[in-house]
Amino acid sequence: MPTDLRFLLKYRILFQTMLIVAVIIVVKVALHAVDWEIIAISPLHTSIVAGGIFILSIFLAGILPDYKEAERLPSEFTATIDSMFEDVIGIKRNYAEFDSAGFREALTSALEAFRNDIVHNERKAYSEIHEIRDALVEMEKAKVPPNFIVKLKQEQGTLIKILLRLYYIQRINFIPSAYYLVVSTAVLVVGILLLTEMKPFGPSAVALGLVAFIFVYLIKLIGVANTPFRSEGSTRDDVSLFLIEEALEHLTEEELRERRDEDHDEEFYRRLKERSR
């Protein structure tokens, strides 16, 4: 992706807001030119603007906790996968009968599917996490002590819990009817200001632009907070997935080291490296 296009995508909320504000100011100038400003300025206008901003702020404050929780989910999921991966390697070294290759592969696949679910809005990680049960059965056959297996089963349950919470946050909007109220309020406030005769016109138009900028930007920000995970590079406000990428690189390196110790063929190393790119 070209650098200029990536820059525009990351700051698209700002640019979209500025474009909408520019259109609003043009409409204001046009209404002033044709003398369609039919509402007289009054002290009530201050209360209308303040009330509108208050409603938007309250709604934004209501969805921020979900956004902050969404920021924690990728790190918690990644940390759990990494902990399970290290436990499996340690178990293999103490219980040679246990073939840990399938377990390690299942963990790496689950983390990859988790990333793809976020970026491409898929639903594959759920089934990948449940594939871990087959590896747990192999552990039981290899006579691995039950306390190790119980710990890994608990961590598998933690992965499912994190994943389902992510799916919920990503799909469900916070009180949809309240969102419509917010948008309606913003439209009404800006519409009233457009039809209000304000003098002197120049400074009043600038003030209208500032008020419109606040309303439009807050609505855009609410949209981002409602859907915190988007395709990589969409905006600078989306939850970052860099920890997942770094963890995948680490797991791939660990897998290569373990596979070499187990004397697997070079073709497998080549395919594993290609998958990690």
Looking at the domain assignment, is residue 200 inside a domain? no
Looking at the domain assignment, is residue 76 inside a domain? yes
* Confidence band for 274, pLDDT divided at 50, 70 and 90: low
**Cα(97)–Cα(223) distance, rounded to whole angstroms?**
52
Looking at the domain assignment, is residue 208 inside a domain? no
Looking at the domain assignment, is residue 255 inside a domain? yes
Asked whether 116 and 232 are in contact (CB, 8 A), the reply is no
Write out the residue range of the structural domain in which residue 134 sits. 43-194+222-276
pLDDT of res. 195: 94
pLDDT of res. 247: 92
Question: Would the pLDDT of 42 be above 70?
Answer: yes
Domain count of the fold of the chain: 1
**Whole-number CA gyration radius for the chain:** 27
* Confidence band for 198, pLDDT divided at 50, 70 and 90: confident
pTM to 2 decimal places: 0.78
Mean pLDDT value across the chain: 86
Phi-psi bin for 121: left (phi > 0), alpha (psi -120 to 50), beta? left
**Cα(175)–Cα(69) distance, rounded to whole angstroms?**
17
pLDDT of res. 275: 55
pLDDT tens digits, residue range 136-193?
Answer: 998 988 889 999 999 999 999 999 999 999 998 888 877 788 889 999 999 999 999 9
Looking at the domain assignment, is residue 271 inside a domain? yes
Looking at the domain assignment, is residue 164 inside a domain? yes
Give mean pLDDT, residues 113-142.
90
- Amino acid type, 129: I
Question: Would the pLDDT of 206 be above 80?
Answer: yes
Tokens 């919470």 belong to residue: 165
Cα 13 to Cα 6, 7, 213, 215, 272, distances in angstroms = 13, 11, 11, 13, 38
pLDDT of res. 262: 62
| Secondary structure (DSSP) of 139-181 | HHHTT--HHHHHHHHHHHHHHHHHHHHHHHHHH--S-HHHHHH
* Confidence band for 229, pLDDT divided at 50, 70 and 90: confident
